[in-house]
């Protein structure tokens, strides 16, 4: 991979990541305000709403969003709008059917999620967010697959601003409860949908032609993703479900706050995943025999993610001071949660063999393995350690998830990921996370993070030096353009 190509990829990454990064800044300033307005118990109830939303979204999509991404570059530019409509129609129709079912059984749904059958408004809002979510998903994918990084980033900023603004506005005008968080979600999705469609209005106007054969092709490719996504949902939601069963809404709220601390890495994950899919697929279509891109990007990404993770752990006690006092226990919950964004993000570069070879059934078995690990971990640890136990279980299961994805992918499409070095980084981070979860001495906790950071610098010194070099070149290039 030559230097010009490196610069283009890094530039594209920054364009797609600018939105998530600015969103992180918005979250940085608004999360403390929200925690002062909404107590942990109400946060816990809102988290259960999010769990339900994510499950129904995955079922409604039927994997057709994955079909749209995978097939986008297989079609000529003028036929891509037709692919969009034929991918969207099935999932949108199914979301309408599911919405009616939710409304019919609204009392039962309310009792299941919030412990009270009288919470009917959140069920109505859940229906609205599902329909908005389906449309917004495809509208955003159009910008993503057309590599409009700056436009896509603008959407993330709009979404974050509208979401936070909606939460704060509702809390001040109507009530400081979990409705505020749901209201913010609705406002964020609605505004993002409108703007994303307007940015590609011509694309949406073209190609409205429904083809039974194309719909069948889209559904058949995407359908194997559905069981995998449901298992993945169980994998990702097992912690909250276990806390709902064995603990309290307050513990769920503290656990959610712990995730807020690692939100910086979560946003990097979202930015990278968005940028990476079109780059990887296009590169494979053009040069399927060249695996150097995937090897290099995975190593650079591992170096970056390990470094940022250890810095977040080191400063966790300072970060948590921004939140309300009721959320202070979240500082010792978050260390193992850091494995979620690290393992998932790096695995996006190491899982390519499964997607390139269209062996999508492997996603199901990988998710089953990871979800099984999480189930056992939560069953054993949550009754004893509460939110800390859920965090440990989540961290371990994401490590299993990474290695399962990577090893199977390597069998299908051999790439040098240097797993020995990566494993050394994982073991280092486990050691640091353990001390920062159960330690009671701040000096030892910070010292362990500093030691871990030193180990990562030694393991990935070439990659870290390379990242700084590229960033420096890009900054100098921008300065020269401004000067001229």
Q: Are residues 180 and 72 in the same domain?
A: yes
In a domain, 189, yes or no: yes
Range of the domain at 65: 38-223
Please, what sign has the CA dihedral across residues 259, 260, 264, 270? positive
> Among candidates 138, 127, 50, 65, which has minimal Cα distance to 95?
127
> Among candidates 411, 141, 410, which has minimal Cα distance to 277?
141
d(CA 111, CA 118): 8
d(CA 282, CA 277): 8
Q: Are residues 207 and 270 in the same domain?
A: no
> Among candidates 60, 330, 31, which has minimal Cα distance to 181?
31
State in Å, rounded, how far the first CA of the chain is from the last one: 30
Q: Are residues 160 and 271 in the same domain?
A: no
In a domain, 17, yes or no: no
Look up tokens 């570059």; give the residue.
73
In a domain, 483, yes or no: no
d(CA 381, CA 375): 10
| Tokens coding 360 | 């999508």
As to burial, measured by CB atoms within 10 angstroms (0-12 exposed, 13-18 middle, 19+ buried), residue 322 is: middle
d(CA 336, CA 278): 30
Q: Are residues 347 and 258 in the same domain?
A: yes
Q: Are residues 204 and 250 in the same domain?
A: no
Q: Are residues 330 and 366 in the same domain?
A: yes
Quote the number of domains for the chain: 2
What pLDDT is recorded for position 205?
86
In a domain, 112, yes or no: yes
Look up tokens 């070439």; give the residue.
462
Q: Which residues contact 254 (CB under 8 A, 6 or more apart)?
A: 40, 327, 329, 330, 333, 387
**Residue 56 in contact with residue 191, Cβ under 8 Å?**
no
In a domain, 182, yes or no: yes
d(CA 137, CA 319): 32
Nearest-5° angle of CA 120, CA 62, CA 225?
120
| Tokens coding 415 | 């790439």
Look up tokens 């939303």; give the residue.
53
SS3 460: coil
> Quick one: angle between helices 121-145 and 80-104, nearest 10?
170
Q: What is the pLDDT along the chain (484 residues), one digit of tens a residue?
A: 455 555 566 566 666 666 666 776 777 677 778 778 888 788 788 888 888 998 999 899 988 998 988 888 887 888 888 999 999 999 999 999 999 999 999 888 888 887 777 778 888 999 999 999 999 999 999 988 887 878 888 888 898 899 889 999 998 888 888 889 899 999 999 999 999 999 999 889 886 788 888 899 999 888 878 887 888 788 778 888 888 877 777 788 777 777 777 766 776 776 677 678 778 888 888 888 888 889 999 999 999 999 999 998 998 888 777 776 777 788 888 899 999 989 999 999 999 899 888 787 888 888 889 989 999 999 999 999 988 999 999 999 999 999 999 999 999 999 999 999 999 999 999 999 999 999 888 899 999 999 999 999 999 999 888 888 877 777 777 677 766 6
Q: Are residues 165 and 50 in the same domain?
A: yes
> Among candidates 7, 39, 15, which has minimal Cα distance to 252?
39
Q: Are residues 245 and 218 in the same domain?
A: no
> Among candidates 218, 228, 281, 216, which has minimal Cα distance to 64?
218
Of 223, 252, 283, which residue constitutes the final position of a domain? 223
Nearest-5° angle of CA 415, CA 418, CA 419?
105
Of 174, 190, 223, which residue constitutes the final position of a domain? 223
In a domain, 23, yes or no: no
pTM exceeding the 0.85 threshold for the entire prediction: no
**Residue 172 in contact with residue 38, Cβ under 8 Å?**
no
Look up tokens 């990242």; give the residue.
467
Helix (H) or strand (E) holding 44: helix 40-61
Q: Are residues 458 and 324 in the same domain?
A: yes
In a domain, 228, yes or no: no
Of 166, 195, 223, which residue constitutes the final position of a domain? 223
> Which string of b and e fits 207-240 if b means at least 16 CB within 10 Å?
beeeeeebbebbbebbebbbbbbbbbbbbbbbbb
In a domain, 169, yes or no: yes
Q: Are residues 265 and 372 in the same domain?
A: yes
Q: Are residues 69 and 125 in the same domain?
A: yes
What pLDDT is recorded for position 120?
81
**Residue 283 in contact with residue 355, Cβ under 8 Å?**
no
**Residue 395 in contact with residue 337, Cβ under 8 Å?**
yes
Q: Are residues 170 and 258 in the same domain?
A: no
């Amino acid at each position: 991979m030559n230097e010009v190509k490196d610069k283009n990829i890094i530039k594209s990454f920054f364009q797609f990541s600018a939105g998530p990064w600015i969103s992180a800044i918005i979250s940085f300033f608004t999360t403390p305000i929200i925690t002062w307005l909404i107590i942990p118990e109400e946060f816990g109830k809102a988290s259960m709403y999010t769990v339900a939303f994510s499950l129904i979204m995955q079922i409604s999509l039927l994997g057709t969003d994955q079909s749209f991404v995978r097939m986008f570059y297989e079609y000529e530019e003028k036929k891509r709008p037709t692919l969009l409509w034929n991918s969207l129609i099935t999932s949108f129709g199914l979301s309408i059917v599911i919405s009616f079912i939710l409304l019919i059984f609204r009392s039962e749904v309310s009792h299941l999620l919030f412990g009270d059958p009288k919470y009917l408004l959140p069920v109505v809002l859940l229906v609205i967010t599902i329909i908005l979510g389906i449309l917004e998903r495809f509208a955003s994918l159009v910008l993503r697959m057309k590599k409009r990084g700056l436009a896509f980033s603008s959407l993330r900023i709009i979404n974050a601003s509208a979401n936070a603004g909606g939460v704060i506005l509702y809390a001040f005008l109507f009530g400081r409860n979990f409705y505020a968080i749901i209201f913010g979600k609705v406002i964020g999705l609605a505004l993002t949908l409108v703007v994303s469609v307007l940015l590609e209005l011509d694309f949406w106007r073209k190609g409205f032609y429904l083809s039974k054969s194309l719909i069948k092709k889209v559904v058949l490719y995407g359908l194997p993703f559905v069981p995998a996504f449901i298992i993945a949902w169980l994998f990702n939601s097992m912690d909250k479900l276990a806390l709902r069963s064995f603990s309290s809404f307050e513990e769920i709220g503290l656990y959610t706050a712990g995730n807020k601390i690692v939100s910086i890495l979560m946003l990097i994950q979202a930015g990278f995943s968005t940028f990476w899919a079109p780059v990887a697929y296009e590169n494979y279509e053009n040069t399927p025999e060249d695996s150097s891109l995937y090897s290099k990007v995975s190593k650079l990404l591992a170096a970056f993610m390990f470094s940022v993770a250890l810095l977040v752990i080191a400063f966790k006690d300072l970060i948590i001071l921004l939140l309300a006092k009721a959320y202070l226990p979240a500082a010792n919950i978050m260390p193992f949660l850091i494995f979620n964004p690290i393992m998932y993000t790096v695995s996006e570069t190491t899982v390519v063999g499964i997607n390139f070879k269209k062996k999508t059934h492997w996603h199901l078995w990988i998710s089953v393995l990871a979800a099984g690990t999480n189930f056992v971990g939560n069953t054993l640890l949550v009754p004893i350690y509460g939110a800390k136990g859920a965090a440990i279980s989540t961290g371990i299961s994401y490590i299993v998830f990474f290695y399962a994805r990577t090893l199977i992918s390597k069998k299908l499409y051999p790439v040098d990921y240097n797993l020995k070095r990566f494993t050394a980084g994982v073991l280092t981070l486990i050691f640091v996370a353990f001390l920062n979860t159960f330690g009671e001495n701040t000096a030892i906790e910070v010292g362990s993070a500093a030691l871990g950071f030193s180990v990562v610098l030694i393991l990935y010194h070439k990659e870290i030096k390379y990242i700084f070099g590229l960033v420096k070149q890009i900054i100098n290039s921008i300065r020269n353009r401004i000067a001229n």
